[in-house]
Copies of this chain bind each other. A is one copy, B any other.
Amino acid sequence: MKLYDLDVSGNCYKVRLLCSLLGVTVELIPVDFMGGAHKRSPVIDLNAFAQVPVLEDGDVILRDSQAILVYVARKWGGEAWLPTDAESMARVMQWLMVAENEIARGPGDARLHDKFKMNIDIAAAREKAARILTIMDRHLEKREWLVLDRPTVADIACMPYVALGWEGGVPLDPYPAIAAWVERIKKLPSFIGMPGL
């Protein structure tokens, strides 16, 4: 299995992290993003969206970090990381959508602006960050993990850009329950980090 990868991408990192937690070997293929390699062959042929990560597992080519987490969890994680009963799966899905939407547009965009100098409305990104982090902090006050009583792909999908928010001027000091949850994830067996974490 190959992962077209960028070391500073939280979306690539979440795939690397789940593979490490599950003990799945994945060959990392670094993509020279700053050099525009994602807009050229072979990446653009594998993913018309011109983004990383891209997962290649034999004939299976997948884009979108949340979808790749679903694939890895279903293929190698059994029911543990992504349960298939209607309620549990839908609850995990709610947070995969938060990762794709509110976290990306909040702390994710704030980091893209500050760290990578992208043309983004930083005030709007920080406002969205405060909104979602307030909701998450309240949610985590009474529980150890986002869904169920164990870590799932929901936690893996949501953690990176939340924990990297300080690189976009969104530190976790006002959100103690989130900070404790990040530390909990860091203590999982076979946890790996990434730059900035």
Residues in A lying within 8 Å of B, measured CB to CB? 48-49, 60, 62-64, 66-68, 70-71, 74-75, 84-87, 89-91, 93-94, 96-98, 100-102, 104, 135, 138-139
Contact check: which of B74, B104, B135 meets A101 at CB < 8 Å? Answer: B104
Find out whether the CB atom of A94 lies under 8 angstroms from the CB atom of B135.
Answer: no
Where chain A touches its partner, the secondary structure class is helix
CA gap between A174 and B84 in the complex, in Å:
39
What is the total number of copies of this protein in its complex? 2
- Chain B residues lying within 8 Å of A64, measured Cβ to Cβ, are 93-94, 97-98
Distance, CA A86 to CA B84, complexed state (A):
11
**Contacting pair B74 A84 (CB below 8 A):** yes
Which residue on chain B has the smallest CB distance to residue A71? B90
Determine how close the nearest CB of chain B comes to the CB of A185; give it in whole angstroms: 22
User: How far is B97's CA from A191's CA once the two chains are assembled, in angstroms?
Assistant: 26
Note all chain B residues with C-beta closer than 8 A to A135. 48-49
Report whether A94 and B67 are in contact in the complex, using a CB–CB cutoff of 8 Å: yes
Min CB–CB distance A81 → chain B (angstroms): 12
Does A86 lie within 8 Å of B101, measured CB to CB?
no
- The interface residues of chain B lying within 8 Å CB-to-CB of A138 are 48
5 A/B residue pairs, CB under 8 Å, sorted by A: A62-B91, A70-B90, A74-B86, A101-B101, A101-B104
With a cutoff of 8 Å between Cβ atoms, the chain B residues found around residue A68 in the complex are 90
